[in-house]
Amino acid sequence: MQQITLTQPDDWHLHVRTGEMLKTVINHTARQFGRAIIMPNLQPPVTNVSQALSYQQEIQQATSGQYNFTPLMVLYLTNTTTVNDVQQAADSTAVHAFKLYPAGATTNSAQGVTDLNAVFPVFAAMEKLDVPLLVHGEVTDPEIDIFDRERIFIEQKLSTIHQHFPNLRIVLEHVTTREAVQFVQQTPGNIAATITPQHLLYNRNALLVGGIKPHYYCLPILKRETHREALVSAATSGNPKFFLGTDSAPHLSHLKENSCGCAGCYSAYAAIELYTEAFDKAGALDKLEGFASFYGADFYQLPRNTRRITLEKTAWQVPEYYPVADKTRLVPLKAGETLHWKLQA
């Protein structure tokens, strides 16, 4: 197959930052996707509807009306989130979910939840008002091996949340393990998962073999090949509980390439091309449209897009970097390498 046409997809997990970085990255997403779920882990985080509306306006101004793109806002769940915050989110047409970051789990998560039991009243309100919970599923105990943190979170935390709030809509974001896939498959339809392009394309060798490659470092971290294979199987299965979420996370190159080693891969520049490459390698291009364009919209109870996009099988070289303000750089996933699918203008 040399060409594929899809219903315009959506990105159900995206970081776009603010300021100059936002201006650099937002149109990479907007040229491909009709909508995107915007992560709230700014500094300070987006914790209420008023802040979400302000952030949404900043994003819309950055796109300058060049594309027909809608940012879907999310509120950052903290220890002090209230039932009233949930009610206001439910009443807002801009806010579509709350995000649970275990404190210290990833970038800008220091203000995340430290005690799940303390926010049970918030979960109860979310379940009653049908507001989805988006979960970064990793424990933060330093004694737990980093490659086991998703599995342990599911066993100790997520299973408990689901047991107490069986009707709460939950998205286990950026799943990385066979155990996460199995959990989602075995639970009811109100539990879903997003899968990133890097976790479909790479195992942990890409990060570690031949020296540490910081631009392949993300959280949850890349896992063994057996886990990657489980993710590919889930994504290409046609199961509507699995859908596209890039977790594209831009960081300036000097912050990635130092002792900090900020977590996050920048994939938004060519997200749909990366997914198409993964599905093509799996011999499952016929399953891409459901995964990319239908299942996420259905889960979020939003209409499917009506516009169409076309990709052509043609080789092109990924830029070494994208310039940001003040001579700083953003290095994309697969910088300097060749992609074999390209979105038509």
Annotated binding residues for Zn(2+), written as ranges, equal 13, 15, 99, 136, 174, 247
Give, in degrees to the nearest 5, the angle at Cα 132 between 130 and 137: 145
Dihedral over Cα of 193, 277, 264, 250: its sign: negative
The catalytic position among 141, 247, 298, 326 is: 247
Active site residue 247: yes
Task: Tell me which residue has tokens 């939950």.
Answer: 170
Binding residue positions: 13, 15-17, 41, 99, 136, 174, 219, 247, 251, 263
In angstroms, rounded to a whole number, what is the distance separating the alpha carbons of residues 338 and 216? 16
Q: Is 252 exposed, middle or buried (0-12, 13-18, 19+ CB in 10 A)?
A: middle
In angstroms, rounded to a whole number, what is the distance separating the alpha carbons of residues 177 and 142? 19
Binding residue positions for substrate: 15-17, 41, 136, 219, 251, 263
The letter for the amino acid at 183 is F
Count of CB atoms situated within 10 Å of the CB of 272: 27
The letter for the amino acid at 105 is A
C-alpha neighbours within 13 Å on the C-beta side of residue 281: 18
In angstroms, rounded to a whole number, what is the distance separating the alpha carbons of residues 297 and 10? 8
In angstroms, rounded to a whole number, what is the distance separating the alpha carbons of residues 264 and 243? 19
Count of CB atoms situated within 10 Å of the CB of 330: 21
143-173: burial string, b at 16+ Cβ within 10 Å, e else: eeeebebbbbbbeebbeebbeebeebbbbbb
In angstroms, rounded to a whole number, what is the distance separating the alpha carbons of residues 114 and 101? 9
The DSSP result for 7-52, as a single string, is E---EEEE---SHHHHHHHHHHHHTT-SEEEEP---SS---SHHHH
In angstroms, rounded to a whole number, what is the distance separating the alpha carbons of residues 32 and 344? 10
In angstroms, rounded to a whole number, what is the distance separating the alpha carbons of residues 288 and 195? 13
Residues labelled catalytic:
247
